[in-house]
Amino acid sequence: MQGSDTIRTLKGVGDAVATLYKRLGIETIADLVCYFPRSYDDYSIITQVAKLRPGPVTIQATISRAAGRYVRRGMHITEAIASDATGSMRLVWFNQPYRASAIKAGKQYFVSGNFELSHQRFAIMSPSLELVSDLPLNTARIVPVYRETKGLTSRQVRSAMAQVLPFISTLSETLPDWVVQEQKLLSYSDALRKLHFPETIHDLKRARERLGFDEVFELVLASLLNKYEIMAEHAPAVPFIESVAKGFVGHLPFTLTDAQRRAIWQIYLDMQREHPMNRLVEGDVGSGKTVVAAMAAVMVLQQGHQVAFMAPTEILARQHAETLTTLLEPLGLASQVGLLVGGMKKVQKDRAREAIKDGRIRFIVGTQALIQEAVDIHELELIIIDEQHRFGVEQRKLLMAKAGHMPHVLNLTATPIPRSLALTLYGELDVSILDSKPVGRQPVITEICAPTSRQTVYKKIKQELEAGRQMFVVTPLIADSDSLEIVSAEAMYKQMKDRDFKGYAVGLLHGKMKPAEKNQVMEQFLAHSLDILVSTTVIEVGVDVPNASVMLVEGADRFGLAQIHQLRGRIGRGSYPGYCYLMMNDARAPSARLRALERTNDGFKLAELDLELRGPGAIYGLQQHGQLDLRIATLADVPLITRARKTAQEFIDKHENIARYPELSKRVKRLRAVTNLN
């Protein structure tokens, strides 16, 4: 048997069943072996009938008096009696008429199922049966449960897995021997065997440890190899000029925080070197990342080079352009800031491209329009990418290719990244953390609200609106859904405009609107032509409306912690406190996730909790997170990640040739493409 053999070579897998396996991504023997269980039922302890207690049980018994009958509405019931030396027990199956004839009277069976009360009598309900043997598949052991598809059950997968056990024992080691020994890991083949056929909980724990280590080790190794590849590139050094830095700080209308000072010094040190900076500035909402980026850019601009600042949306790009122009005006550099976004007219774009090409515009702010071939940024020395996880790998490469060499790269994110993610997915990046907020940032008071309190909440909101403030209303859906009982943006807009907030100016913003329409609505809200903006999460990142002091989040339990934290960062940005109301869909008690939002405004604590509860996608909205293929490991397991990272660094320090390990090499190559932020 070979890993490349089709699944059809197995007994019981014909063309029709092979088609079902294909739905699960299983076409070969190798695919099957790497199809990991999603959970386990522990039926490993055999109990005497007289000692049975409610819950999952296994008995070893002789079965007799098996008979079936039809009851009301066509329901079929099969009943049998299972006996051992201590007593007898009733077995019950529903709609399995074949059961009675399949049972061999007088034979010893393993019987596993749930022991519970049924019609005033205890019975084992819908049990699995197997003749007693040394290798039971569905009873009398820790039974793996696999993800199923219609027509293909876990029982069938277990039967197929038993047939490939001899193949599993032939699998070669994927890691260097020294790694396996140093980390006290099971061999690769032993881990796979114990994952599918664990004899004890300890076996299962050891198998998951080995395979989880593999996943994280491969991910971290891919990230570190990317980092060293970038470090090997040449980038023109940008010398630190003290007078430039002092000149910028001297014109600021506020004092930099210690965290901002620390971050900008790290950036300046990076840019002085002759290999590319690849730094991530990570700061909670309102921590002052834009000022740090501007200060980095000034050092490059004052030495005659160009800077590109790429934002994920036109609204945010326009806002950044205005903010950066204001920051650079006292230095006489405002005229060098230019905007290039898809929503501009052709004549405006042509004019901007020409000014970029001849160097009149040296600080280019834009969206993906910056990576079009028609844009010539030949003096590009620094790329700043805001909310960099929203761009694909290829898009970032296209932007950097315009420099003709590897430029310095500064990534910004307002999404607090848990330490475990920083150690794995962002291992190639140097990280600066802005963990304090500028003086004057107002607190945001968060309150969870039941639907029955809606009118009371509306009364509080109207007090803010009457005081001249504005409000965001965020919903998870654009339009009403037949399957979800959640108010949509369109329905909420109509309801507020025509009934609950009649007399106030209400606007609507969502992702399906054309860019020009979105810009127009946002500009109206910024100008206070609108009192209320009903929106989807399109306003999650970056939009700055200092006069907005209220946010109402509808269907709050549909959002992740980090996402709601991002949303409420849109308020309290001026001189007024912010009020964030989290409206529940029903009167059920709020989850621990939502309660955490009431207790803290610390985005880092919330991100750690969201990672633990919902996984990396909930925190980062990362498109690639599904490709990371972490089926065993969890990114919340910091001790495992720390071990794997140390070992991956040791692998590089030992100058190991990854080509010696073909399976490892194949996986790492794929992960380098997924994790590469360049």
Domain range for 14 is 1-34+147-164
Residue that the structure tokens 């204001």 belong to? 326
The pLDDT of 280-291, averaged and rounded, is 83
Q: For 476-511, what is each residue's pLDDT tens digit?
A: 887 766 556 677 888 899 999 999 999 999 999 887
The string of pLDDT tens digits covering residues 49-101 is: 999 999 999 999 999 888 888 887 778 999 999 999 999 999 999 998 888 88
pLDDT in tens, 291-346: 999 999 999 999 999 999 998 888 788 889 999 999 999 999 999 999 998 888 88
pLDDT band of 32, cuts 50, 70, 90: very high
Residues 266 and 338 in one domain: yes
Bridge-based pairing of strands 76-84 and 87-94 is antiparallel
**How far is the C-alpha of 520 from the C-alpha of 512, rounded, in Å?**
14
The predicted structure's pLDDT at residue 394: 65
Continuous H helices in 469-578: 489-495, 515-526, 561-568
The pLDDT of residue 464: 93
Return the percentage of the chain with pLDDT > 90, whole number: 51
Q: Is residue 356 part of a domain?
A: yes
Residue 3 lies in a domain: yes
pLDDT digits (tens, 9 = 90+) for 249-263: 999 888 899 999 999
| pLDDT score recorded for residue 422 | 66
Q: Are residues 268 and 384 in the same domain?
A: yes
Report the range out of 156-165, 590-599, 621-630 with the highest average pLDDT: 156-165
Number of domains within the chain? 4
* 266 and 159 inside one domain: no
Does 390 lie in the same domain as 363? yes
Answer yes or no: is 520 within a domain: yes
CA dihedral 58, 62, 64, 66 (to 10 degrees): 40
- Cα-to-chain-centroid distance, residue 343: 30
**Shared-domain flag, residues 357 and 252:** yes
**Is there a single domain that holds both residue 91 and residue 155?**
no
Which has the minimum average pLDDT: 460-464, 484-488, 642-646? 484-488
On the 0-12 / 13-18 / 19+ scale of CB atoms within 10 A, 503 is exposed
Give residues with Cβ within 8 angstroms of 597, minimum separation 6. Answer: 446, 448, 561, 564, 565, 568, 580, 582, 606
Average pLDDT over residues 108-127: 90
Domain final position from 600, 620, 649: 600
**Residue 429 vs residues 37, 200, 205, 308, 619: alpha-carbon distances, Å:** 34, 41, 32, 19, 18
Q: Is residue 208 part of a domain?
A: no
Name the pairing type of β-strands 548-554 and 578-583.
Answer: parallel
| Alpha-carbon dihedral angle through residues 73, 78, 79, 84, given to the nearest 10 degrees | -160
Q: How far is CA 174 from the centre of its chain?
A: 27
Q: Indicate whether 393 pLDDT > 60.
A: no
Domain containing residue 491: CATH number: 3.40.50.300
Same domain, 449 and 588: yes
* Residue 63: how many other CB atoms lie within 10 Å: 20
pLDDT of the residue at 542: 53
Same domain, 384 and 457: no
pLDDT band of 2, cuts 50, 70, 90: confident
Same domain, 21 and 63: no
pLDDT at 620: 45
Q: So what's the pLDDT on residue 625?
A: 42
Q: Is residue 90 part of a domain?
A: yes
Write down the pLDDT at residue 530: 93
pLDDT score at 624:
42
Q: Strand locations in 332-374, DSSP E?
A: 337-340, 363-366
Is 301 within a domain?
yes
Q: Is residue 56 part of a domain?
A: yes
Contacts of 594 (CB under 8 A, 6+ apart): 448, 556, 557, 582, 584
Please state at what angle helix 603-614 crosses helix 561-568, rounded to 10 degrees. 150
- Among residues 57, 204, 211, 45, the alpha carbon closest in space to that of 127 is found at 57
CATH number at residue 64: 2.40.50.140
Together in a domain, 571 and 450? yes
Highest averaged pLDDT of the listed ranges 148-152, 187-191, 274-278, 422-426: 187-191
Is there a single domain that holds both residue 342 and residue 361? yes
Tell me: do 10 and 81 sit in the same domain. Answer: no
Chain-centroid distance, C-alpha 134: 43
Tell me if the pTM is above 0.75.
no
Q: Is residue 215 a part of any domain in this protein?
A: no
Q: What is the mean pLDDT of residues 650-671?
A: 92
Residue 619 has pLDDT above 80, yes or no: no
